[in-house]
């Protein structure tokens, strides 16, 4: 299928984007990498009158490390993040997650900001941002504001972004010494969206877990930081018994929906399997 007709504007500055958003309201949509929006248009799932192309706003692409944070510009592509030495050094969870996103052609165009703004519950970046306690920077005509990733994702394809706002950057605190990570997901074929996945971070001090953050993707309408499940390992360490208890706890914290191929019960079971694998990796 082909997209319905639309007007196109290539923005040369953020203020031009703000003006266009103000003038056209809901009838306008921001176009970044186009890897989700263009298929949605072609399938007639969305029919904006105007696409505002922000892909040439180069100042909003790239990675900077300063003041204990990694700042990732909204227009940074999935590939760039996956190949970045700074990311590998400071946020290796993202390096591991990048390889699970679609295929190289999509990773070369799709952007970090586009993925977060879309808020697909099975996407990798939203879960990583929640696990890493990232701050999402939103800009509009009236200034900028920061929203914690844990507040930003509000439901199925729903975020805290307000009309007129553009996601410009994400600031991620660099985990201190002693933090370990694991990123695991199960997909029907390599490159498919995950059936279920986990972005895991844990601090280990003298062999004991002092902070565990198990964040699940594809297991609810938004990424879920399963705090009670994570706490089991802080209080009881990693053993067969604590794992069993944590897997039971997961049923309280996750609410997966069935899709065409996988029932909700199977997804919950798979989340438990991934929990075991992630914890083995973190404890090793």
Ligand X SMILES: Cc1cc2nc3c(=O)[nH]c(=O)nc-3n(C[C@H](O)[C@H](O)[C@H](O)COP(=O)(O)OP(=O)(O)OC[C@H]3O[C@@H](n4cnc5c(N)ncnc54)[C@H](O)[C@@H]3O)c2cc1C
Residues lying near ligand X in the complex (CB under 6 A) are found at: 29-37, 39, 74, 101-102, 106, 110-111, 113-115, 117-118, 123-124, 166-167, 193
CB of 193 vs ligand X, minimal distance in Å = 4
d(CA 29, CA 114) in angstroms, rounded, equals 12
Between 116 and 250, name the residue whose CB sits nearer to ligand X: 116
Phi, psi of 155 (to 5 degrees): 170, -165
Q: Output the smallest distance, CB 35 to ligand X, in A.
A: 3
Residue 211 CB, shortest distance to ligand X, in Å, is 26
Residue 36 Cβ, how far from ligand X at the closest point, in Å? 4
User: Strand 135-140 and strand 166-173: pairing?
Assistant: antiparallel
- Residue with CB nearest ligand X? 110
* DSSP label of 260: S
- Closer residue to ligand X in complex, CB, 31/224: 31
Closest CB to ligand X among 73 and 175?
A: 73
Least distance in Å: CB of 246 to ligand X? 26
Residues facing 138 on adjacent strands: 145, 167
Select 29 or 203, whichever has its Cβ closest to ligand X.
29
Count helices and strands in the chain by DSSP H and E runs: 12, 14
Residue 4 or residue 178: which is nearer to ligand X going by CB?
4
Nearer to ligand X, 2 or 206 (CB): 2
Answer yes or no: are the C-beta atoms of 110 and 101 closer than 8 Å.
yes
φ, ψ (nearest 5 deg) of residue 59: -70, -10
Count of Cβ atoms closer than 10 Å to residue 99 Cβ? 14
Q: Measure the CA–CA gap between 158 and 243, rounded to whole angstroms.
A: 32
* Least spacing, CB of residue 7 vs ligand X, in Å: 15
Beta bridge partners of 9: 52
Nearest to 82 by CA among 55, 111, 59: 111
């Amino acid at each position: 299928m082909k997209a319905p007709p639309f007007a196109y504007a290539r923005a040369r500055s953020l203020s031009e984007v703000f003006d266009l958003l103000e003038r056209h309201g809901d009838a306008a949509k921001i176009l970044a990498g186009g890897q989700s929006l263009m298929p949605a248009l072609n399938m007639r799932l969305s029919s904006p009158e105007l696409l505002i192309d922000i892909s040439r706003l180069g100042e909003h692409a790239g990675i900077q490390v300063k003041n204990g944070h990694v700042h990732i510009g909204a227009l940074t592509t999935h590939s760039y993040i996956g190949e970045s030495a700074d990311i590998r050094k400071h946020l290796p969870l993202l390096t591991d997650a990048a390889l699970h996103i679609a295929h190289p052609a999509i990773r070369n165009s799709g952007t970090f900001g586009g993925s977060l703004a879309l808020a697909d519950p099975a996407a990798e970046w939203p879960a990583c941002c929640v696990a890493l306690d990232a701050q999402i920077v939103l800009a509009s005509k009236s200034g900028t504001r920061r929203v914690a990733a844990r507040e930003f994702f509000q439901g199925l394809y729903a975020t805290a972004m307000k009309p007129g706002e553009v996601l410009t950057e994400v600031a991620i605190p660099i985990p201190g010494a002693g933090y370990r990570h694991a990123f695991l997901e199960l997909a029907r074929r390599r490159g498919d969206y995950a059936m279920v996945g986990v972005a895991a971070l844990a601090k280990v001090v003298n062999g004991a877990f002092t902070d565990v953050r198990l964040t699940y993707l594809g297991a609810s309408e938004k990424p879920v930081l399963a705090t009670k499940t994570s706490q089991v390992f802080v209080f009881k360490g990693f053993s067969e018994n604590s794992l069993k208890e944590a897997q039971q706890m997961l049923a309280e914290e996750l609410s997966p929906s069935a899709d065409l191929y996988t029932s909700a019960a199977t997804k919950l079971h798979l989340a438990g399997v991934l929990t075991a694998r992630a914890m083995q990796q973190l404890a090793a």
